[in-house]
Amino acid sequence: LLLTIHRSDYGKFVLTAGKFYGDAEKDKGLQTSQDAHFYSSSARFEPFSNQGKTLVIQFTVKHEQNIDCGGGYIKLFPADLDQADMHGDSNYNIMFGPDICGPATKKIHVIINYKGKNHLIRKDIRCKDDEYTHLYTLILNPDNTYEVKIDNKKVESGSLEEDWDILPPKKVKDPEAVKPDHWDERERMEDPDDKKPEDWDRPENIADPDAKQPEDWDDEMDGEWEPPMVSNPDYKGEWKPRTIDNPDYKGKWLHPEIDNPDYSADSEIYRFDSIGVIGLDLWQVKSGTIFDNFLITDDATLAEEVGNETWGQTKDPEKMMKESQEEKERKKLEAEEMARKEETKDEPGEEEEEEEEEELEHEEEEDEEEGETGAQEEEEESDSIKDEL
pLDDT for 386: 44
pLDDT for 388: 43
Alpha carbon 231 to its chain's center = 53
Return mean pLDDT, the chain: 91
Specify the amino acid at residue 136.
Answer: Y
Q: Would the pLDDT of 146 be above 50? A: yes
pLDDT for 379: 55
Residue spans per domain, the chain:
2-170+270-326
pLDDT for 383: 52
Q: Would the pLDDT of 154 be above 90? A: yes
**Cβ proximity of 167 and 260 under 8 Å:** no
pLDDT band with cut points at 50, 70 and 90 for residue 373: low
For the purposes of burial, counting CB atoms within 10 Å of the CB of 158, is it exposed (0-12), middle (13-18) or buried (19 or more)? middle
Q: Would the pLDDT of 356 be above 70? A: no
pLDDT for 389: 35
pLDDT for 5: 84
pLDDT digit string (tens) for 232-252? 999 999 999 999 999 999 999
Beta strands 171-173; 37-48: pairing state:
unpaired
**More confident position, 111 or 214:** 111
Lowest mean per-residue pLDDT among 3-12, 89-98, 227-236: 3-12
pLDDT digit string (tens) for 295-353? 999 999 999 999 999 999 999 999 999 999 999 999 999 998 998 988 887 665 555 66
Number of helical H runs and strand E runs in the chain: 5, 21
**Cβ atoms within 10 Å of 46's Cβ, excluding its own:** 7
Topology at the third CATH level for domain 2-170+270-326: Jelly Rolls (2.60.120)
What average pLDDT does range 18-44 have in this prediction? Answer: 97
**More confident position, 158 or 389:** 158
pLDDT digit string (tens) for 69-115? 999 999 999 999 999 999 999 999 999 999 999 999 999 999 999 99
Which DSSP category does 187 fall into? S
CA distance 38 to 385: 106
Q: Would the pLDDT of 385 be above 50? A: no
CA distance 242 to 250: 21
What average pLDDT does range 113-124 have in this prediction? Answer: 97
Ranges assigned E (strand) in 127-222: 133-140, 145-150, 153-159, 171-173, 188-190, 205-207
The pTM assigned to this predicted structure is 0.74
**Cβ proximity of 296 and 45 under 8 Å:** yes
